[in-house]
A and B are shown apart, each in its own frame.
Chain A
């Protein structure tokens, strides 16, 4: 009897607590975030989360949004499949989040997207680049560019900055990411009047590329586009030097890893790649962000994930302000109307597909570090 009484008391308390949280109290806006804070992609998830937290703290310090404080509730999905759906269900149904922020990995953003779409709660992914994510429905947005765009960016870079007429493409046929980049690079580069002199393929994980590279060298390109991941890219750079192919090699954000310079050493010096963000990109907004981030996280330099996490929260706050309310449909309409928003990672316009149209940055490997070269507008 005593036990039953105790249990019912606990239950009542839980229900009361739940009621109190539901929808947030009158003077706060509840925003849900799901992130890979632990597990195998924890470094990405942590960075993104730190950026988001910084944004929310800054917003609240400045008086909040619509006169209300933002209450960020974060759920960890442990980088595991299946957990994101649980987390988002909880954030929407139990906590009553008005919007959802997350995730880095496209596969996990895709898990949450149908739930947000069904419940009419806008979701903003900070850094999932797979085109499918926002195709789920009209409540799903992102603040990063998508894979095909990078191909176009690198084509502009090759044409305008490298002033190259003839380019060879070396594609990883095992990866959709690589094939997508190669396709859009080719279209944009030929449209700009350039010429693709050789197209060769490799399989991700190969160790010998000299056969293909010799043919590429024979075609006499002024640069080689290698849309792939860092390990393959490093080995390709090494073997290109060994057969005397001394033209610039360049790739996409798959190159951005310390492993690139660890494995490639001297051979990757002078190569270029495109990515979302560089702390050296400058601009008053970017500088303020780097300073604030360093101050908040003991001198740590923000990476692209942190900057995108920050932008996702800021763009949401901006939309809520313009919507002048927290109903799902209102926020969605305001998000869709985002135009030329001045974000840390560049000016963001949300297009008809709910993807961000924004600039990319080009980095160059210099002295084993990634140095900022330029920003390329869409």
Chain B
């Protein structure tokens, strides 16, 4: 019993990282109706930003301290927000009036560009790099249960970020504009919403969350390389679809569910190798019965 509980804790920590990434996918889909495949590589850039920032900031803020972790996370998020907006401005904005497929293929191109440019010797190099410890790691034990302080931080911060995001989207003017653009871009423009600015903001926000997710991911598994975003990115995309793409609480729910499923099946001997297969088979089943995802609304298209 305690083992299952332990697995659920492990799964929630992993799932909350998926949730953070999934939010970025789902937000962009919400406003632009396309999947930003470069999102997973922004995650990688976030981890690398932290990798280079931490040694620079450590002497002034103290190694493995809360101020250091906070500063590194905030700065990396800011850098990635700029990168996200830049990608949108350079690669997607010129294609906005073109068919969706064109933008989608461009997104794949941007993703491959970031991955393989990152592997070049002069950029990051293909070898795995040791990620510095940002926080002192202590293990908290509750009886037979073990929670590493890193996992606890990840869980709590994810919950906080979800709350902040909910507040931005539901309670602020910017959020209202985002929802308006998502609902009907042209009508929003007619109402005086600056659509370009809102789309830029959405990319920035999503990319900042991806950077935070990348740092959390690297804290759990402190070896980073230019292809590190591919696996979690793919899973987060699935999580976004599972929750109902375009739906924010759905993305969070999908991420957590996927993390738990993956971890629990990974812990069963003789099927541990098939953990992704089983997790994805369950997702297919769910989507068969709820095609719009767990929290997605079915839209009836009128002819």
Query: A residues near B, CB below 8 A?
Result: 173, 198-203, 205-212, 214-215, 218, 231, 234-235, 238-239, 241-244, 259, 262-263, 265
Contacts and interface: CB of A to CB of B under 8 A. Distances in A.
8 nearest CB pairs, A to B: A211-B266, A207-B221, A242-B148, A211-B263, A201-B273, A244-B146, A215-B267, A210-B10
A239 B220 contact: yes
Contacts of A259: 127-128, 130
A207 to B, nearest CB: 4
B267 A212 contact: yes
Contacts of A200: 266-267, 269, 272
B267 A214 contact: yes
A209 B267 CA distance: 9
A109 B15 CA distance: 45
Contact of B14 (A208, A218, A231): A208
Q: How large is the interface on B (under 10, 10 to 19, 20 to 34, 35 or more residues)?
A: 35 or more
17 contacts: A198-B269, A200-B272, A203-B273, A207-B217, A208-B220, A208-B262, A210-B263, A211-B266, A212-B267, A212-B272, A214-B267, A231-B128, A238-B221, A238-B222, A239-B221, A259-B127, A265-B133
Contacts of A198: 269
Contacts of A243: 6, 10, 146, 148
Interface string B218-234: 00111100001001100
B268 interface: yes
Contact of A242 (B14, B139, B232, B269): B139
Given A202-B272, A242-B148, A243-B148, A211 B265 contact: yes
A201 B10 contact: no
B130 A214 contact: no
A218 B128 CA distance: 31
Given A211-B7, A262-B130, A235 B223 contact: yes
Contacts of A206: 231
Given A199-B270, A214-B10, A265-B130, 7 more contacts: A207-B220, A208-B262, A211-B11, A214-B7, A235-B221, A239-B220, A242-B139
A155 B298 CA distance: 58
A263 B130 CA distance: 5
B150 interface: yes
B10 A218 contact: no
B271 to A, nearest CB: 9
Contacts of B272: 200-202, 211-212, 215
B279 to A, nearest CB: 11
Given A208-B221, A231-B223, A263-B223, A199 B130 contact: no
B157 to A, nearest CB: 17
Interface in B218-275: 220-223, 228, 231-232, 262-270, 272-273, 275
A211 B139 contact: no
Contacts of B223: 207, 231, 234-235, 263
B130 A242 contact: no
Contacts of B270: 199
A207 B128 CA distance: 12
Contacts of B10: 210-211, 214, 243
B151 interface: yes
Contacts of A231: 128, 223
B141 interface: yes
A211 B262 contact: yes
Contact of B228 (A203, A207, A241, A244): A207
Interface hub of B231, B232, B267 (most chain A Cβ within 10 A): B267
A208 B221 CA distance: 7
A239 B219 CA distance: 11
B102 interface: no
Nearest to A200: B272
Contacts of A218: 3
Contacts of B222: 235, 238, 263
Contacts of A211: 7, 10-11, 262-267, 272, 275
B137 interface: yes
A214 B6 contact: yes
B179 to A, nearest CB: 34
A204 to B, nearest CB: 12
